[in-house]
Structure 1
Amino acid sequence: MTLFLQDARLIDPEAEGETTANLVIDGGIIAAIGQMQAPAGAEVIDCGGKCLAPGIIDIGVKIGEPGERHRESFRTAGQAAARGGVTTMIARPDTLPAIDTPEMLEFVTRRAAEVPVRIRHMAALTKGREGREMTEIGFLMDAGAVAFSDVFHVTTDTKVLSRAFTYAKSLGALVIGHPQEPGLSQGAAATSGKFASLRGLPGVSPIAEQMGLDRDLALVEVTGVRYHADQITTARALPALARARAAGLAVTAGVSVHHLTLNEFDVGDYRTFFKLTPPLRSEDDRRAMVEAVASGAIDIICSMHTPADEESKRLPFEEAAAGAVGLETLFPAALRLYHAGSLSLSQIFRALALNPARLLGLPQGRICEGAPADLVLFDPDAPFVLDRFQLASKSKNTPFDGAKMSGKVLATFVAGVQVFGQVAQDSGE
């Protein structure tokens, strides 16, 4: 089927600009962009001047299958992603059991096949994510792994990590690290400082992130492996990142949308939906992260979607599970930075779509002729109040419950197929 999207405000993160144009989709590919008329027989969608951008590629999505299907299933994650404008999810390996063998990777790949959006999987860097023995990286790559990570289980044995980096380098694999010094971070529920002390919460110093990043970057320098830091959240970590890039190392970095739009004071009176990993930082750090995204020092914005059931969140703050769902809130939360004048729409989609695609070698993330027609149509100014019980995710642990937000996804397309939205279509005949 041929689709004709007319009168769209195209957000192009590659050209870093906006144009009003029509767009032809044929065979799941963007066939033409310009002021042409609709091809004969095409289905016509009037975008009404609303924004059309590349679909979001969300790196670091936790899906509960296998082992924690009660928190999130492939079906509910797929529905949430489509509603949030996420056309590709990069799923994490921190499942029960971990995705650390080709057989387990093939299992989750089969389970993901029925989801309306694209799903690619990371695999664990070490067996069981225990940091003692590296996985069969080559076999896992053959089975479809796009990256390797132990997520929040930071390896304490530097020799094991060095060997894994060396092996990953020899195979051209991407390693995704979580920059934290595990000893300092253990048991922490908040960022150390006056606020944590007044609340009586065990804190972790921001230096833990810098120390963890320094160790990883030293190993990157020795091995030459491609490395992505999943979340940089403190200003003091940015100079090390800049030095690594100046030295020519293949290093990129991400940040979660929560650390761009919230700070440590949002925890308030022990609100566990605001307990995250890493914990929320100071307002100075939050502003530094926004500036780093604007300048390109931080490449990627992600949701770090981490579903948690009610029982694991309705506990004292120290004991409650960390993490928040984010597939549906990633986009409107990121638009807070647009409405605040901190980032342009093209800069936001550079971090949400183009840079993740470049990092993983995917053809998506662009609006150009020949690119896959993975697109999101949205109104950046449409206001709404978020109701967590209306989320498609099984788990409802969002810090944005009851928040006033602006920016609604009107339609989501994957390979030219509308997987979400009620945008009217007319026959071009």
Structure 2
Amino acid sequence: MNILIKSAKIVSPENSALHLKKRDVFIKKGIIEKIAASIDDIPSGTKIIEHKNLHASIGWLDTSVSFGEPGHEERETIQNGLQVAAKSGFTNVVLNPTTTPVPDTSSDIVFLIERAKGNGTQLHPLGSLSKNSKGVDLAELFDMHNAGAVGFYDFKSQITNPNLLKIALLYAQSFDGLICSFPEDIQIKGKGVVNEGEMSTSLGLKGIPGLAEELQISRDLFILEYTGGKLHIPTISTANSVKLIAAAKRKGLDVSCSVAIHNLLITDDTLSDFDTSFKVSPPLRTKQDAKALIKGLKDGTIDFVTTDHTPLDIEEKRLEFDNAHAGTIGLESAFGSLNPVFGLEETVGLLTKGWERFNIEKPKIETGSPACFTLFEPYEEWYFTEKDIKSTSRNSMFLDAPQKGRVIGTISNNTLTL
């Protein structure tokens, strides 16, 4: 397939020759063949992409996405999930080990990669850190790494045994593996379902104190300092967590962290109606926490954002708040939610971070390179509604939220998705 991107403003801060310049880009069979101010001599049958206020950047990466297949196909299949990601601007996603059974062997990783082939969005699976994600015995980390796993994670589960984390960090150094540890102490959390504070008290809901997150992070950082290795702490949510990670980075520890978009933009004030769409893990925190998280992103303490896209069936959400499952979808609303807060260039910067941490090759906008573009229009103001949801599941906390900017599509893997 031949494609001509016509008069697109390129957003590429690392490439000063192209950054914020309008260019035509000709793509032949998935490879960038020419970049110029104007390209008119093109083969017949070329697909021309033109759009008012058309912008283009390298493809976006989401480092925490869940689907359902195998085991929970009613939530989201791999095929549909990757289509949702592509239409939302993401050319690459890191897939959480949330399936049944969890991927804890090399054959499980191979299955996921094979199921994802032929799509515009590339899937990069995380393997389970422990067998069956039970937190008892290490899974086959080295074999999964060789099969294509980009890291190891017991999704949303505390590593209760500190020795397991110690062994994992030591062992993974032999192949430069990335260990992920969810920041939550389940004994401190107890039966909590929302942030502990004024809102939990007024609603009569059991609270999860920030201490549950911060205590786990403190423990994990002490172990990392002892062992060395590479540790990633996904989806932090409190101001004190930002301080702990900043201090660890100043010590030179090899630690990274992410934050979910909803924890940046939405606070526990929204819980007054007991709407289970707003039940997530970690929980929505306070305005002070959200401000600290945004500051942490801006100063580089927090390494990247994620949608933490978690599709759930309606039966898992239409329950009493205590019993409903935690999670929200977020791929479709990511760009339009971030853009009004951070602005065009910073938003694109946030959505294109994380490649090196997960050992994924970062795309380039230069002739001879594989075409990997996200196409978008950054100025249109609109509201996110049910019709904008492309996921099989509908559990979005961003319904009726104002958005600025729309994704037009992606070009990746010699595939155009509009």
Cα-to-partner distance string for 1:213-250 (whole Å, 9 max, x where unaligned): 11111122122111111112111111221122122222
Equivalent residue, structure 1, for 2:405 = 407
Q: Does 1:328 align with 2:327?
A: no
CA positional deviation for 1:91: 0.6
Alignment coverage as a number of residue pairs: 414
CA positional deviation for 1:47: 4.3
Equivalent residue, structure 1, for 2:176 = 172
Equivalent residue, structure 2, for 1:75 = 79
Q: Distance in 1 between matches of 2:13 and 2:196?
A: 37
Q: Does 1:349 align with 2:348?
A: yes
Cα-to-partner distance string for 1:32-75 (whole Å, 9 max, x where unaligned): 43425345425443344421122211111111011111111112
Q: Does 1:244 align with 2:248?
A: yes
Deviates more, 1:410-419 or 1:100-109: 410-419
TM-score by length of 2: 0.94
Equivalent residue, structure 1, for 2:12 = 12
Q: Please give the secondary structure, in 2, of the residue aligned with 1:258.
A: helix
Q: Distance in 2 between matches of 1:136 and 1:84?
A: 33
Q: Distance in 1 between matches of 2:383 and 2:343?
A: 23
Equivalent residue, structure 2, for 1:362 = 360
Equivalent residue, structure 2, for 1:394 = 392
Q: Distance in 1 between matches of 2:364 and 2:349?
A: 9
Q: Distance in 1 between matches of 2:303 and 2:347?
A: 10
Q: Is the 8 A contact 1:363 1:372 kept in 2?
A: no
CA positional deviation for 1:187: 2.1
Cα-to-partner distance string for 1:276-316 (whole Å, 9 max, x where unaligned): 00000101111111121122221111111111111111111
Q: Distance in 2 between matches of 1:200 and 1:216?
A: 32
Cα-to-partner distance string for 1:235-273 (whole Å, 9 max, x where unaligned): 111122112212222211111110111011112210100
Q: Please give the secondary structure, in 2, of the residue aligned with 1:356.
A: coil
Cα-to-partner distance string for 1:173-199 (whole Å, 9 max, x where unaligned): 011221122211232211111111000
RMSD over aligned CA atoms reads 1.9
Q: Please give the secondary structure, in 2, of the residue aligned with 1:323.
A: coil
Cα-to-partner distance string for 1:333-375 (whole Å, 9 max, x where unaligned): 22231xxxxx23222222211x221222322354344543221
Q: Is the 8 A contact 1:326 1:398 kept in 2?
A: yes
Q: Is the 8 A contact 1:38 1:44 kept in 2?
A: no
Q: Please give the secondary structure, in 2, of the residue aligned with 1:7.
A: strand
Q: Does 1:85 align with 2:120?
A: no
The one-letter amino acid of 2:350's match is A
The one-letter amino acid of 1:234's match is T
Q: Is the 8 A contact 2:105 2:139 kept in 1?
A: yes
Equivalent residue, structure 1, for 2:311 = 307
Change (3 A) 1:395 1:13: farther
The one-letter amino acid of 1:122's match is L
The one-letter amino acid of 1:30's match is I
Equivalent residue, structure 2, for 1:373 = 371
Change (3 A) 1:251 1:370: farther
CA positional deviation for 1:19: 2.5
The one-letter amino acid of 1:380's match is P
Match of 2:102 among 85, 98, 103: 98
Identity, % of aligned pairs?
Answer: 29
Equivalent residue, structure 2, for 1:425 = none
Q: Please give the secondary structure, in 2, of the residue aligned with 1:259.
A: helix
Equivalent residue, structure 2, for 1:291 = 295
Q: Please give the secondary structure, in 2, of the residue aligned with 1:12.
A: coil
Q: Is the 8 A contact 2:199 2:271 kept in 1?
A: no
CA positional deviation for 1:137: 0.8
Higher relative contact order (CA 8 A, sep 6+): 1
